[in-house]
Amino acid sequence: MSSTSLFLATAIEAVLRAGEIQLSYFGRGVRIEKKGVIDLVTEADLAVEEMFRDLINSRFPDHLVLAEEHHQTDSTVDEPGFRWIFDPIDGTTNFAHNLPIFCSSLALEVSGRLEIATVYDPTRRELFTAERGGGAFLNGIPMKVSLAEKLVDSVLCTGFPYDVHDTLDDVVSLFSQFTGKARAVRRLGSAALDLCYVASGRLDGFWEQRLQPWDIAAGALLVQEAGGRISRLSGEEFNVHAGDVLASNGLIHDAMMTVIKTHTEALD
């Protein structure tokens, strides 16, 4: 087996195992703790992350792991070599409230470039996979972004960051701008799935601010490999460490950027 196939096989194995662990806790009164006023962690997040760190340490002991629950504060920068970027549960608030919209999200970065992505939603049994240059797949079937050309024909999605109580005006006013222009705007509670849904054409566009690398690394590669466009909100080049992301089918990207620019100028 080539090393790339071994990495992809490991990435698939990891998210499928994550899904099994998630389901073993889901809906059974999982223990919850607070990391912030509205930012939760459950015993399932911790169990999934432990499984993942053990898996990578045993298979690739020289690879780095950047995962949400036990990351070092200085580890959210580009690293040389191999780095696995993992979110043990993306959609923890949904998970803790027995709402079946969550996944695990995993990307392999090689010298700062995203090469492999896997996201698994165990309640729908949907596995999203991509390799750089090899296309994007949903349960093994190639997937493509949508063909919507106008905002008025588009379903968009966003998420609210955990500091939303302090940044409400900014977050809600952009939400309101898009709601006044799109067919619909959704807010599902899992940035990784939001990006997968742009990649699979279920959504036409997604934006969010103040995200972490583990929320968006896998989804970003999936959107690109499905033929979509990904950038920062300003249109600058996408960067997993920048925190903000604009993803679309490509066709409505400029129109979304115009809405964001008008909103940003109004704030200044």
Which residues are near Ca ion by CB under 5 A?
68, 87, 89-90, 92, 215
| Nearest CA among 241, 263, 239 for reference residue 77 | 241
Q: At its nearest, how many Å lie between ligand IPD and the CB of residue 150?
A: 26
Interaction of residue 52 with ligand IPD, rule CB under 6 A: no
- Strand-strand pairing, 184-186 and 155-158: parallel
Pick 189 or 201: Cβ nearer ligand IPD: 189
Q: Which stretch binds ligand IPD (CB under 6 A): 2-10, 12-20, 131-139, 208-216?
A: 208-216
Output b/e per residue, 63-88; b: 16+ Cβ within 10 A.
Answer: bebbbbbebeeeebeeeeebbbbbbb
93 to 122: interface string for ligand IPD, x by CB under 6 A: x-----------------------------
- Tell me which long-range contacts 252-259 makes (C-beta under 8 A, separation of at least 24): 252/148, 252/149, 252/150, 252/151, 252/154, 252/204, 252/205, 253/205, 253/229, 255/150, 255/151, 256/151, 256/156, 256/178, 256/205, 256/207, 257/231, 257/233, 259/151, 259/174, 259/177, 259/178, 259/181
8 A C-beta contact, residue 173 and residue 117 = no
Q: At its nearest, how many Å lie between Ca ion and the CB of residue 92?
A: 5
Residues forming a β-bridge with 114: 109
Interaction of residue 191 with ligand IPD, rule CB under 6 A: yes
Interaction of residue 250 with ligand IPD, rule CB under 6 A: no
Using CB distances below 5 to 8 A depending on partner kind, what does residue 243 bind out of ligand IPD, Ca ion, none? none
Using CB distances below 5 to 8 A depending on partner kind, what does residue 49 bind out of ligand IPD, Ca ion, none? none
Pick 96 or 108: Cβ nearer ligand IPD: 96
Interaction of residue 201 with ligand IPD, rule CB under 6 A: no
Which distant-in-sequence residues (6+ apart) come within 8 Å of 27 by Cβ?
98
Interface pick for ligand IPD out of 19, 22, 91, 228 (rule CB under 6 A): 91
Q: Provide Rg for the chain, Cα atoms.
A: 18
Q: Which stretch binds ligand IPD (CB under 6 A): 75-83, 87-95, 115-123, 128-136?
A: 87-95
Q: At its nearest, how many Å lie between ligand IPD and the CB of residue 39?
A: 7
Residues forming a β-bridge with 103: 90
Pick 17 or 144: Cβ nearer ligand IPD: 17
Catalog residues that contact ligand IPD under the rule CB under 6 A.
87, 90-93, 159-161, 189-191, 208, 211, 215
